[in-house]
Amino acid sequence: MPRAFSFLRDALLPLIVFPGLIAFGIRFIFGHLFESGLSEALGSACIPGASTATSYHLPYTGLEAVDAALCPFVAFFHAALDEPDAVALLTYFIGTAGSLIVIPAVEGWRAGRSAFLAYPVIFGLLSQVISIGITFPIYWLVFILSGGANMTRGKISQAHAEAIMFGAIAGATIPSVGLLALRDPVVTAIWQPYPAYVSLAQSAHLAFRSASKRSESGYKTTQFMYIGMLILCSSTHIATIWPLFTDFDTIRRVYIPSVVAPAPSVSAGVRVLHFLKWDMGFGLASSIIATLWFARNLKEVIALAAWNVIAIPVIGPGAALIGAALWRESKFQDTSDVKIKKK
């Protein structure tokens, strides 16, 4: 790869693109949070001693400081759960955006990865505090600048591939289904640190099936996981969005964010929906853009860009992202095969 192209690809462009996304994310996610009065509404639902039915200042842990910190997050999600359009968006996102959990986990266990990528739980917890839309541009910037896009990086062991699948199901899928199904403030509070549950579930799985005993390549398991997620994400998108192709009003109301903050007079649920649309939009958009760094040359950049342009409306952004990750993993396998033949 020419040195000038390498500098442009691995240093200059990431330092322009992803900080720009972070800046716009702050403007539209948090700027609108305050302009719409949503921050005040969430605060009013957390006043100690409030006797109204909308108070979420509850003894979740028995520790006052922790309970006070959890309260606005619980109030936020319960405002969403009281708004049918927000529930529809959350359901769609949970069904299509598992890649935002799995891909950082895969990169975190990859042999030869940078120490900056070794603890995806940090980025996961950060996404719960400062939003997905701000965290993922940061993650992808770190990923690229630390050499994560380098196609000479190593394999995923079988033990780690199994642990990633188990962690995603036990630590993320089950708690998220519980969040939507039970709609209980205590359950919502328990759900908040779910990235830590993902990490703990992975560690528990590795305690029983250690990497030292299952050190063979986990490519086929990783491939199976990605294909399964591709089917799930695309099916969710097709079942949710395709029937609405002629109903643009619903698509706009539920899935497309407005550049104008909602009025403080509208319900908290509508304002939370607006926040979520921008939050999820920036999280997925930054991840889709980052797939262009999976390419090793201009031809592959064009191919990945074309894939995203076609796949996003047809099978959804989550499936498009998983498809790019699946292609990337196949290139690692090709590289490993070449190295074996040379030996």
- Show the tokens assigned to 122: 């940090």
Return the pLDDT at 150: 78
Phi-psi label, residue 49: left if phi above 0, alpha if psi -120 to 50, beta otherwise = left
Residue 115 to residue 110: CA distance in whole angstroms:
11
Confidence of residue 6 (pLDDT cuts 50, 70, 90): confident
pLDDT tens profile 228-258: 999 999 999 999 999 999 999 999 999 999 9
Q: What is the pLDDT of residue 232?
A: 97
Angle at alpha carbon of residue 178, lines to 177 and 182, rounded to 5°: 125
- SS3 percent helix, strand, coil of the chain, rounded to 5, is 75, 0, 25
pLDDT range class, residue 297, cuts 50, 70, 90: confident
**Residues pairing with 157 in the sheet:** 217
Q: Which residues contact 206 (CB under 8 A, 6 or more apart)?
A: 159, 160, 163
- Would you call 173 exposed, middle or buried from its count of C-beta atoms within 10 A (0-12, 13-18, 19+)? middle
SS3 316: coil
Per-residue pLDDT tens for 171-187? 999 999 999 999 999 99
The rounded distance, in Å, linking the Cα atoms of 93 and 233 is 9
Question: Domain extents for the chain?
Answer: 3-342
């965290």: which residue's tokens? 135
pLDDT per residue over 56-76, tens digit each? 999 999 999 999 999 999 999
> What whole-number distance in Å separates Cα of residue 135 and Cα of residue 282?
9
- What pLDDT, in 10s, does the model give residues 306-325? 999 999 999 999 999 999 99
Is 135's pLDDT higher than 90?
yes
Among 75, 29, 26, 14, residue whose Cα is nearest residue 280? 29
Q: Kindly give, in sequence order, each residue whose CB lies less than 8 Å from that of residue 199, ignoring residues fewer than 6 positions away.
A: 120, 121, 124, 167, 171
Is residue 37 helix, strand or coil? Answer: coil
State how far the alpha carbon of 93 is from the alpha carbons of 17, 88, 121, 229, 269, in Å.
24, 9, 19, 13, 17
- Taking phi over 0 as left and psi of -120 to 50 as alpha, with beta for the rest, 157 belongs to beta
